[in-house]
Amino acid sequence: MNEKIIAGNFKSNLNRKQTSDYLSKLSLLKSKHKIFIFPSISSMPSNDYDNITIGTQNCYPAASGAFTGEITLEHLEELNINTILIGHSERRNLFFESDKVCAEKFAFFKERDFCIFYCIGEDLATRKAKKERDFLSRQLDFIDTNYSKLVIAYEPIWAIGTGVNASLEQIGECMEFLKSRTNAAIIYGGSVNENNSSEILDITDGILVGSASLDINKFHQILRSKE
């Protein structure tokens, strides 16, 4: 199997010490896949591992300034971080980040040559109404889908943190549709774990793993699923 993108999104879990211990162990593991870890902001180390790319879960699109509670580009530069997650459904829903806000972040970090993981995905009502393609297409209309350092993370909202992953058929259909819209790598996220990762990797360019990435043993199993 070709090299895949295997990304762990720690969200607001694992403190500084736990993250550092985790990354020390992970850095010793051999994998042919491209590993990305998005730690919580206060646990973010420098991006200087050989086999792991550290990315940020969020950043305000400015060099520095009066943006209470946010970090800015200067903080990332100090840590040599040039990978960012934009548009995660938790940021869209809990922190009211609209498509327009996500697009502004995208434009800012594209300008600075970042690798951008751009998350899109429909809610359950949209899926039930069979309108997911229109929905995903509209989300993509806000960004430059030809950007060479773009990774699209397809994460149906109803599958995130619920233990209900999309079926292979549903994932496959969306992959096909998204491939018709962009040449970017397309990964899947939503209740991926050590038991379903292998078959999902068969039909995607990679996976974005939330809760199952918090346990290094599970994440290791996921990494090994296609060795």
Sites of contact with ligand PGA (CB under 6 A): 9, 155, 160-161, 189-192, 208-212
Q: Given the residues 33, 88, 90, 132, select the one marked as catalytic.
A: 88
Nearer to ligand PGA, 73 or 211 (CB): 211
Question: Does residue 88 carry a catalytic annotation?
Answer: yes
Residues facing residue 209 across a β-bridge: 8
Interacting residues of 1 by C-beta distance below 8 A, sequence separation 6+: 201, 202, 226
Question: What minimum distance in Å lies between the beta carbon of 185 and ligand PGA?
Answer: 16
Report how far apart, in Å, the C-alpha atoms of 45 and of each of 55, 78, 119, 153 are. 10, 10, 23, 23
Helices (H) and strands (E) in the chain, counts: 9, 8
Question: What minimum distance in Å lies between the beta carbon of 110 and ligand PGA?
Answer: 21
Nearer to ligand PGA, 9 or 204 (CB): 9
Interacting residues of 52 by C-beta distance below 8 A, sequence separation 6+: 23, 26, 27, 35, 36, 37
Q: Given the residues 90, 97, 132, 155, select the one marked as catalytic.
A: 155
Report the distance separating Cα 153 and Cα 184, nearest Å. Answer: 10
Report how far apart, in Å, the C-alpha atoms of 36 and of each of 125, 133, 176 are. 31, 27, 24
Q: Which residue is nearest to ligand PGA (CB)?
A: 210
Nearer to ligand PGA, 73 or 184 (CB): 184
Nearer to ligand PGA, 90 or 132 (CB): 90
Question: Does residue 155 carry a catalytic annotation?
Answer: yes
Question: What minimum distance in Å lies between the beta carbon of 184 and ligand PGA?
Answer: 17
Report the distance separating Cα 96 and Cα 46, nearest Å. Answer: 29
Which residue, among 46, 97, 225, has the nearest Cα to 37 in the 3D structure?
Answer: 46
Question: What minimum distance in Å lies between the beta carbon of 37 and ligand PGA?
Answer: 12
Which residue, among 210, 106, 214, has the nearest Cα to 151 in the 3D structure?
Answer: 106
Question: What minimum distance in Å lies between the beta carbon of 73 and ligand PGA?
Answer: 23
Nearer to ligand PGA, 140 or 166 (CB): 166
Would you name the residues annotated as active-site residues? 88, 155
